[in-house]
Amino acid sequence: MKLVTFSTGGDLRVGVVDADEVRDVSGLLPAGADVLQVIEDWAQWGPVLAERPPSLPAFALDDVRLHAPIPRPRRDVFCVGKNYREHVAEFGRSGYDQPDRSETLPEHPVVFSKATTSVTGPFDDVLAHPGVTSELDYEAELAVIIGRGGRGITREQAFDHVWGYTIVDDVTARDLQRRHKQWLIGKSLDTHCPMGPYAVSADEITDVTALQVESCVNGEARQSAPVKDLIFDVSELIATISAGITLLPGDVIATGTPAGVGIGFDPPRFLVPGDVVEVSITGLGTQRNRIIDTEGES
Ligand code: MG
């Protein structure tokens, strides 16, 4: 099932996408319920939404505004750095992380987070934040959405805790990432976490490792790699994070980005206002975000 958070000018609604239509299922849910609540109580609401009657209000996808499926996660988005071999190499060569330009693969997952306030919609504008950063970059990523929470989840149990998947562009201010050492600030500027368009339940994805993660900038292909190229796979990430931290329903884990980001080029190709970044993953749709200087710019 493809869940969306959408609006048609008013309140945020919960929708289920069928082909090119959004069916408004908010009427089947408790007043004010959002996608996060649906995921948290999936055993209850999954069957109700699966049985959605055809009489529910429906809208053409083109006629609604799609928001991030989880517009305000309950806490920061977990992220994983340096999780595709070729990206580790390009990041190492860039000198952004270590002055010795090491291309050594990490021995353990590199886990950091993005602030909840960085989350924005799949087709919303991304702010360039002039005066704050001048080195804006994109990172196409598969994101895992946790269903059943837990601590001490083993590799073998990991997929029992996965509700489904979405797309995240882990937009990064490289100068801030480098300057502040810890990555939180460089990864968390407002609008720097486009999410969606859909939250896709795991039953729709037969083999997550077969999904292809792709990005392009202004129509030019930049990144393309299958999820099977992850150094630390989805099971390993869940086991590592949950070893001592309780994962909660609705937690989002962005699994890392393939090679082809802006700092991978020499000279680097940073994003500038007017650029359009598209990120696609097999079965999860495409997000498209324009970089703008200032909020409210048309
Ligand atoms: Mg990333």
pLDDT in tens, 218-272: 999 999 999 999 999 999 999 999 999 999 999 999 999 999 999 999 999 999 9
- pLDDT grade for 297, boundaries at 50, 70 and 90: low
| CA distances in angstroms from 43 to 47, 57, 99, 255, 285, listed in the order given | 7, 24, 50, 26, 25
DSSP string over 168-223? EE--EEHHHHHHTSSSHHHH-STT-EEB-S-EEEGGG-S-GGG-EEEEEETTEEEE
| CA distances in angstroms from 211 to 76, 227, 252, 257, 260, listed in the order given | 25, 6, 18, 13, 17
Q: Is 52 exposed, middle or buried (0-12, 13-18, 19+ CB in 10 A)?
A: middle
| Span from the CA of 140 to the centroid of ligand 1 (angstroms) | 7
Is the Cβ–Cβ distance between 171 and 139 less than 8 Å?
yes
Residues whose CB falls within 8 Å of the CB of residue 195, separated by 6 or more in sequence, listed in order: 68, 69, 70, 119, 120, 121, 122, 143, 166, 167, 168, 252, 287
| Span from the CA of 257 to the centroid of ligand 1 (angstroms) | 5
Q: Which residue type is seen at 162?
A: V
Is the Cβ–Cβ distance between 64 and 8 less than 8 Å?
yes
Pair type for strands 285-292 and 119-120: unpaired
| Span from the CA of 267 to the centroid of ligand 1 (angstroms) | 20
| Span from the CA of 145 to the centroid of ligand 1 (angstroms) | 16
**Arithmetic mean of pLDDT, 68-83:** 97
Pick from 148, 163, 145, 156: nearest CA to 239? 156
* pLDDT computed for residue 119 by the predictor: 98
Whether the pLDDT of residue 101 is over 80: the answer is: no
Give per-residue pLDDT as tens, 20-67. Answer: 999 999 999 999 999 999 999 999 999 999 999 999 999 999 999 999
Is the Cβ–Cβ distance between 226 and 211 less than 8 Å?
yes
Structure tokens at 187: 């990864």
Surrounding residues of ion ligand 1, Cβ less than 5 A: 139, 170, 257
Residues whose CB falls within 8 Å of the CB of residue 36, separated by 6 or more in sequence, listed in order: 70, 73, 74, 249, 250
| Span from the CA of 79 to the centroid of ligand 1 (angstroms) | 6
State which fold the 77-292 domain adopts: Fumarylacetoacetate hydrolase; domain 2 (3.90.850)
| Span from the CA of 297 to the centroid of ligand 1 (angstroms) | 27
First vs last Cα of the chain: how many Å apart? 34
Whether the pLDDT of residue 296 is over 90: the answer is: no
Q: Which residue type is seen at 178?
A: R
Structure tokens at 196: 């969606």
Domain residue ranges of the chain, discontinuous segments joined by +:
2-67, 77-292
What gap in Å lies between CA 112 and CA 102, rounded to an integer?
20
What gap in Å lies between CA 254 and CA 232, rounded to an integer?
12
| Span from the CA of 58 to the centroid of ligand 1 (angstroms) | 35
| Span from the CA of 1 to the centroid of ligand 1 (angstroms) | 26
**Arithmetic mean of pLDDT, 176-195:** 96
